[in-house]
Structures are given as structure tokens and as C-alpha cells.
Amino acid sequence: MTKFEDEKRKLDKQELNEDRERLDKDMHEKTHSTKNDSFSKDRTDATPHDIDTHMQANPGASGEGHGAIDQESLPRSTPGWRILIQEVIHDKLALFSFIILVVITSYVFGLTLFLKQSEIVFVDLFAINEPPGDTFRLGTDYGGRDVFGQLIIGTRNSLAIGFLVTGISVGFGVVYGVVAGYFGGHIDNIMMRIVDFFMVLPFLMVIIVYVTISPDYDILSFSLIMAAFLWVGTARLIRSVAIQEKELDYINASRTLGSSHIKIIFTQLLPNLVGIIIVNATLNLAGNIGIESGLSFIGFGFPEDTPSLGTLMSYATQTQTLRHRPWIWAPAAILILVLMLCVRNVGEAMRRAGDARQRNA
Amino acid sequence: MSEYLLEVKDLKVHYPIKGGFFNTTKDYVRAVDGVSIRIPKGKTYGLVGESGSGKTTTGKAVIGLNHVTDGEIFYKGEKMNSGKKVDVSSEIQMIFQDPYSSLNPRKRVFDIVAEPIKNYHRKSKDDLIEEVLGLLNKVGLPPGSLYKYPHEFSGGQRQRIGVARAIALNPELIIADEPVSALDVSVQAQVLNFMQEIQQEMGLTMLFIAHDLGVVRHMCEWIGIMYHGRLVEEGPAEEIFNNPQHIYTKRLIAAIPDTNVDNIERNLQRREEVRIEYENHFHEYLDENGKPFPLVSISENHKVALPPKGGEQVNA
């Protein structure tokens, strides 16, 4: 906390003149003195240092309050996004992970603008199973398709699915769970029975059946069918935390202050759940990319002409490829690992930023 | 009727006890079971009782945080409850017991104190800042605390933030639910004195819920003593302290510590007498359900829950 304020004061320093700096320091000391000297009625043990000098230095501040206070001398509020950035920058591992994540994502999404999926997946029987070389940077698979191009497009597809599924399922699950947890009673009962219904459905089977009978599906529809089953976990988790949180007095206080239920849920309750939401979203993002890769790996994700990290990995099911041609599947495996770790590190730093007591920056 | 700011008539708050195979209602916890309170304007009414006696439930029911099973709540002669629900009013505010859980840890002081103002008035950001600074000034917090988070403050300072939030809407009635019981003794007096100052300055009426009789004596003009969801004695503070009639009140008052060393022997003896009387006769003051009897007026203002036979038991 002190570090945080020092940082802030450093930032403000250029703007502040000497007088203001002194004032700021006075306030700082006053609020941090454990004895509450400035508040006690009889300040018997107050040393001259403790006496409220800013009152003399700045008579405006001692006025009646309304309009009498020099607003420019107040410490600036730090906006939430800056706190988030500060936290990520402070945590070197998270910063490193974030840079890697951004580089990979932008590289992949940027490069796919110039790569044609139809060209990449074009079968060339004269160049099958070539090891990495000048023509093919990461070699070719058994169809003579460029592994590097497939990797780029596959990563884009996998990331897009991961983000989409996570966005939809966490977004819906959070709202659903927080409403159920906050209102409780019959509303909670009905809403949770619906969740139970979704949980007993064998969701992998449903997705496999969908993939089998659907003539054509794209990233969006595939994401939607996955999200339709994955929101329930988030909803249950958020509900349980919301139930704990709503018992606290600040929710009661908001009621007595005249805030509506919707306002309390979204401005009071939800900010206190940010930590768990971010952790949940991060884990889900990693998990969803995993589920997609897994489905593709067993052959029920995307077909080979829509590469993803999973389809590349699934080449490893052939013993020959697994043993003698690691260039086909190893880059995809490493990329999955790196992406998961980076997402997790950044998520961890964001979780800390969401909780003022855990911040490092 | 209009001389009382708040009138509570025969308030009952019952909670069902669910159980059995079909989760049916087996019985009720009668947290508050027929409490009537009248608070004159500008006065402080102290609600005292042991833990679990229903004093907090009463306070929360008045402000609308609990459902009301039965009874009526009148504020300025207007009925506040319809059925189970009690209306939330900007003129009734509450100071919470725990200054740690009653402030949202994710909100800055400005957001916390400005919340009620935003709910009822449309104001520009600059006006809000000005108003919040005025309130902080009133409760003795430096302007520098505006953008700080609650965890950066001590317990006493947090309670001041709670008070600032409660008085932000210029309420007429404040329900103070054990506002100092979570604070250590050195800060208690500070907060109490400053609450009294604010009360006088703003002409507030207060329902002061506490279990500390010393605090109540310091703060309140009227006192009601609760036991198991009912009032056992009610009257002006001095009357209650000097002339307690109910055995439960007597024992509570006998338990107040005295700092005068010369009185040690006398106090011990008095406590022993009260203890014996309490153990021998307390059951006579309760009905067959273990609840106090209805209140009976014994003087103009003083009401006691005496057994139906009248004064005989008291003399016994």
C-alpha cells in the first residue's frame, strides 16, 4: 500500500508545487499515524510534528467543507486499468508472459491475413513427410502440407475458439450464478435445478453427435455448442461465492442506502468476485483450448482442412509420425504448453490487481 | 401520535425452522415476539439485551433488512410496512456493527460515501466530491482520505466512514446497531462522543442498539431492555438505572463495573443479593414459554413486564 502510494506520489510530483507536496505529506502522515492523533479530542501527547500544520499552511482546507477545499491539492484517484497495468508490469514473470502472449497472438493473427487456408491445406503428394528445410520451414505432413502454415492457422483457430468459448461461457455463467446466489430462495432453487440438468448431460457425447450430424460448422457454431455446456461450472462456482459475499454487511448497507438489487449485484457484489472470475476465466481459457484440441485429436473437432492445434497433435496417433517425424506434432505441443503457461501467469497477476490487499505494485 | 418520530407496534419477526423429509416448517424461531417502541423526536432510545435477545433483528426490521411477520411500523405517523416488506426510506439510515464488513473493500471512500447521494440525487462529479469532502470533514477525516480504500483505515476511522455514509442523506432517524462494540475501548469513547455531537448538530433521532449498559447510559434518554424477543422493562434512562423493577434489569445493572475502589465490598454484597433473588425468582417473571410477560405501566413513563398478579412478586 505504501509502495503504491509512493509510486503515485512520484507520478504526481511533476505537477505539484512545493506547497502541495508538503500538504500531501502531512495528510499521509496523519492518516498513517496509528494513534489517530489528529482525531482525538484531547491531543495531550501530540508533538509539534503531529500538529496539523496544513491547516495553517492552507486555511482553505479548514473551512466549512462545502466549496472551501482546494480540490487541486487532493491526491488523484488511480483508475482501475492503470492499477491493472502497474500490477502486470511489476510482476516480471507476468509481464514476460504477457509479451509472449501478445507476440504469439499478434504474429499468428497478423500472419493469417497473408496465408490462404486453402493453399496451406492443399495436398501435394510430391512433398510428403519432408523434414524442416528451406522450402518448408517446419517440414510437411503425410499429405505434403506445410506444417508451419498449419501451425499458424491452427493456433489462430484454437485461440479464437478458446477466447470465444471462455467469453461466452464465463460471461453467462457469472451473471447467472451471481443472480442465483444473490436472490437465493426459490429463484436460486429453480436456477440451480436447470444447472443440474445441464450437468447430467454427457456434453462430449452431445458435441460429438452434433459434429457428426451437422453438415457444416464453423468456429462460431462450434464455440456456441461448447459454451452451452461449459457455463454451468462457472455458474455454480460464482453462485457459491456470491452466497458467502452477500451475507456481508456492506450489501445490507447498500440496501439501506437505497440502491436497487441490480445495482447492488453489479456495482457492489461483482467487483468483489473479480478475483475468482479472472482465475476461473483463465483456467477455463486454458481448459477450453485443451477441450478443442482433445476433440480434434480424437477426430471429432475440426476436419483436417480446418487445422487447429488439436489436428496437428492428432498426427501423433500414427506410430511412425510419433517416433520419426516430431516436426509435425512437437511444435503444436510446445505451443499449447507455452500458451497455457502465459495465460495462467497473466491471470494470476490480474487476480492480484483485483484485490487491493494483495497488490505488489 | 405525531410527537413520536418512530412507533413500532407489536413487532414480530419469526423465522421458520425447516426439517423432516419434505422440508416442511416444523416450528418458528421467535426472534422478535411482540415489541413495541416509541421514540420521541430528537431523542436517543437505547435497546439493550443479551446476545440473541432480538435487538438487532428489531433494528433491521425497522429499516427493512428483515421481513416482518406481524406488527406495524410507523414513521412520522405513516405506516412503513405492508405485509412482510418494509419500505426503504432515505430518512432512516443505519450505522452497522462491524466497520470491517460494512464497507465494501473494493470501493474507495468517495464511492462509499457518495453512493446514497447518487441514489437519490442527480449531481455532477464536482458537486459530489464537494459534498463528500464536507461529510468527511464533519466526521473528522482528512480530505486526503477521499480516494483511499477502507483497508487503509483503522477501525475507528472506518466507523467514521460508516457514519459519514449514514448522514449523507440528512436522515432524521439513525439506527445504530452496536456501533462501537467492534472497537477497542479507547476508540469507543471517541466515536460515541462524536456521534453525540453529530446528533445534536443535525437534530437526529437515534435507535441505539447496544449490550453495554455504560455506553447506553452515556448516550440514551430512553431505554428498553429486551429478553428473548420481548421487552422486559422500558422507561427514561435515569428511571431505569435508579429504580429497576424487573429482576433481569436489576441483575444487568448490578453487573456494571464500578471503578471506585471503596465500594468493592458493598458492590459485591449487592451483586450477591441480586444473584440470589435472580436465581430464586427469575422463573416467576417468565410465562410458560420462557418469555417475559406483557409490559405493565407502573408510572407515567416506566413500564415493566411483571407477572400478571401484579406487584406481589416484586416484594416477595
Q: What digits encode the pLDDT tens for the residues A203-225?
A: 888 888 888 888 777 888 888 98
Q: What is the pLDDT of residues B269-295, one digit of tens each?
A: 888 888 888 888 888 778 777 788 888
B251 has pLDDT over 90 = no
Task: Supply the ipTM of this predicted assembly.
Answer: 0.82
Kind and range of the H or E run holding B195 = helix B185-202
Of the residues A74, A186, A256, A259, the best mutation for testing chain B's interface (the one with the most B CB atoms within 10 Å of its CB) is: A256
**Topology annotation, domain B4-91+169-315:** Rossmann fold (3.40.50)
Whether residue B165 and residue A257 make contact (CB cut-off 8 A), yes or no, is: yes
The sign of the CA dihedral A207, A208, A211, A212 is negative
> pLDDT value at position A6?
54
Q: Does domain A82-354 have CATH number 1.10.3720.10?
A: yes
DSSP per residue, chain B: -TTEEEEEEEEEEEEEEEETTTTEEEEEEEEEEEEEEEEETT-EEEEEE-TTSSHHHHHHHHHTSS--SEEEEEETTEE-EETTEE---TTEEEE-S-TTTSS-TTS-HHHHHHHHHHHH----HHHHHHHHHHHHHHTT--GGGTT--GGGS-HHHHHHHHHHHHTTT--SEEEEESTTTTS-HHHHHHHHHHHHHHHHHHT-EEEEEES-HHHHHHH-SEEEEEETTEEEEEEEHHHHHHS--SHHHHHHHHTS----GGGHHHHHHHHHHHHHHHHHHGGGGB-TTS-BPPPEESSSS-EE---TT-THHHH-
B127 has pLDDT over 70 = yes
Query: Could you tell me if A226 and A165 are in contact, meaning their C-beta atoms sit under 8 angstroms apart?
Result: yes
Q: What is the pLDDT of residues A49-62, one digit of tens each?
A: 443 334 333 333 33
Whether residue A252 and residue B96 make contact (CB cut-off 8 A), yes or no, is: yes
Q: With a CB-CB cutoff of 8 Å, which residues 211-270 of chain B face chain A? A: none
A76 has pLDDT over 60 = no
Cell 448516550: give the residue.
B219
A79 has pLDDT over 70 = no
Q: What is the pLDDT of residues A104-138, one digit of tens each?
A: 989 988 888 887 777 777 777 777 777 777 777 77
Q: With a CB-CB cutoff of 8 Å, which residues 184-203 of chain B face chain A? A: 187, 190, 193
Collect all residues of chain B within an 8 Å Cβ-Cβ radius of residue A61. Answer: 143
- pLDDT band with cut points at 50, 70 and 90 for residue A238: very high
> pLDDT value at position A53?
38
**Cell numbers linked to B81:** 410496512
Task: Name the range with the highest mean pLDDT among A225-234, B23-32, B288-297.
Answer: A225-234
Q: What is the pLDDT of residues A258-298, one digit of tens each?
A: 888 999 999 889 888 887 888 788 878 878 888 888 888 88
Residue among A191, A222, A202 at smallest CA distance from A296? A222
* Distance from the B213 Cα atom to the nearest Cα atom in chain A, whole angstroms: 23
> pLDDT value at position A100?
92
Q: With a CB-CB cutoff of 8 Å, which residues 97-126 of chain B face chain A? A: 97-98, 101-108, 110, 115-116, 119-120, 126
Collect all residues of chain A within an 8 Å Cβ-Cβ radius of residue B173. Answer: none
* Distance from the A54 Cα atom to the nearest Cα atom in chain B, whole angstroms: 10
- Compare A79 and B295 and report the one with higher pLDDT: B295
CA–CA distance, A353 with A274 (Å, rounded to integer): 10
- Where, residue-wise, is CATH 1.10.3720.10 in chain A? 82-354
Collect all residues of chain A within an 8 Å Cβ-Cβ radius of residue B170. Answer: none
Cell 522450402: give the residue.
A135
Give the nearest chain B residue to A354 (CA atoms).
Answer: B106
Sequence spans of domains, chain B: 4-91+169-315
Question: Region B240-254: what's the mean pLDDT?
Answer: 86
Residues 6 or more apart whose Cβ sits within 8 Å of residue B52: none
A248 has pLDDT over 80 = yes
Give the nearest chain A residue to B114 (CA atoms).
Answer: A257
* Distance from the B292 Cα atom to the nearest Cα atom in chain A, whole angstroms: 30
Rg (CA), chain B: 21
Question: Region B90-107: what's the mean pLDDT?
Answer: 88
- Helix extents (H) in B15-154: 55-63, 109-120, 125-138
Give the nearest chain A residue to B193 (CA atoms).
Answer: A41
Q: What mean pLDDT, rounded, does chain B reach?
A: 85
